[in-house]
């Protein structure tokens, strides 16, 4: 594991964007696994700059996102589809028909999960998966549990996740209680993984995940079993 500690969020974002850009240069038709939340926003801004300066071409990139809230469609301003459009896709030359986010409004979420896993398989798997980490150690929305779940599946969000994400909604009551998330199989089968985390509040969970026992109660600890993980942590 490559663990990079930096001081500022700006440094983190620049380093993460460089790694993603290198992946795209190395394989222009790569499959990027993408994340939402506050952690990757700066990384996406850097990627947008590179694209708009003519340094980076997204035209043959495919993306698959980690997760989506159950019950929010892509027009809802807190849906993860909307987040991806406004924070990245609307500002770069990616073909939106090749950007995928699980459908949180699917009638049958188990079928949607199976279809999402089949899609990732048909794409040849993920070349580089970008991750954030929750305060409870979740990656995607794989919350602490007795087992690691392999497939894309519906989850009930932990109270701590609802608390953490309430900042994005008008009130805590508005935060959806459920989500659909990529499972550990697709995440861990990615050829490379890049996790970004910032702020003092994430320090303990980063250390527990990377250096503590591998335990589904700390979902990100599974990353210790992956052969090519880079973690970038910034203090602020
Ligand atoms: C988002 C996701 C989550 C977030 C995590 C951290 O697609 O999968 O695991 O990465 O909740 O969120 P922030 O970055 O807002 O602290």
CB distance 35 to ligand 1 below 6 Å = yes
Report CA(133)–ligand 1 centroid distance (Å). 5
CB distance 87 to ligand 1 below 6 Å = no
- Residue 19 confidence (pLDDT): 98
Catalytic-labelled residue, pool 46, 67, 68, 117: 67
Q: Domain map of the chain by residue range?
A: 2-202+212-234
Could you tell me the fold of the domain covering 2-202+212-234? Rossmann fold (3.40.50)
CB 125 within 8 A of CB 79: no
* Closest to 65 in 3D by CA, of 142, 11, 2, 140: 140
- Residue 226 confidence (pLDDT): 98
* pTM, two decimal places: 0.98
- Residue 5 confidence (pLDDT): 97
Question: pLDDT tens across 203-222, in order?
Answer: 999 999 999 999 999 999 99
Residue 137: pLDDT band with limits 50, 70, 90: very high
CB distance 39 to ligand 1 below 6 Å = yes
What H or E segment, with its residue span, contains residue 99? strand 99-100
Question: pLDDT tens across 166-191, in order?
Answer: 999 999 999 999 999 999 999 999 99
Report CA(197)–ligand 1 centroid distance (Å). 9
Catalytic-labelled residue, pool 68, 112, 136, 153: 136
Exposed, middle or buried, 229 (CB in 10 Å: 0-12/13-18/19+)? buried
Pairing of strands 128-131, 178-181: unpaired
Q: What is the mean pLDDT of residues 35-42?
A: 98
Report CA(66)–ligand 1 centroid distance (Å). 10
CB distance 136 to ligand 1 below 6 Å = no
In angstroms, the CA 220 to CA 210 distance is 8
């Amino acid at each position: 594991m490559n663990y990079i500690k930096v001081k500022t969020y700006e440094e983190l974002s620049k380093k993460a964007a460089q790694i993603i850009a290198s992946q795209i240069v190395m394989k222009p038709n790569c499959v990027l696994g993408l994340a939402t939340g506050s952690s990757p926003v700066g990384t996406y801004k850097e990627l947008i700059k590179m694209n708009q300066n003519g340094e980076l071409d997204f035209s043959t990139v495919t993306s698959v996102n980690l997760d989506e809230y159950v019950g929010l469609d892509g027009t809802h301003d807190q849906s993860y589809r909307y987040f991806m459009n406004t924070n990245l896709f609307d500002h770069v030359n990616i073909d939106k028909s090749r950007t995928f986010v699980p459908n949180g409004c699917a009638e049958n979420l188990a079928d949607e999960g199976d279809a999402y896993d089949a899609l990732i398989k048909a794409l040849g798997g993920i070349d580089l998966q970008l991750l954030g980490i929750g305060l409870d150690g979740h990656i995607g929305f794989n919350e602490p549990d007795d087992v690691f779940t392999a497939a894309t599946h519906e989850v009930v969000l932990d109270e701590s996740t609802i608390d953490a994400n309430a900042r994005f909604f008008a009130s805590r009551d508005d935060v959806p209680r459920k989500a659909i998330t990529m499972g550990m199989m697709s995440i861990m089968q990615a050829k490379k993984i890049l996790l970004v985390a910032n702020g003092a509040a994430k320090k303990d969970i980063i250390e527990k995940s990377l250096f503590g026992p591998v335990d589904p109660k700390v979902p990100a600890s599974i990353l210790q079993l992956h052969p090519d993980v880079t973690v970038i942590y910034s203090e602020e």
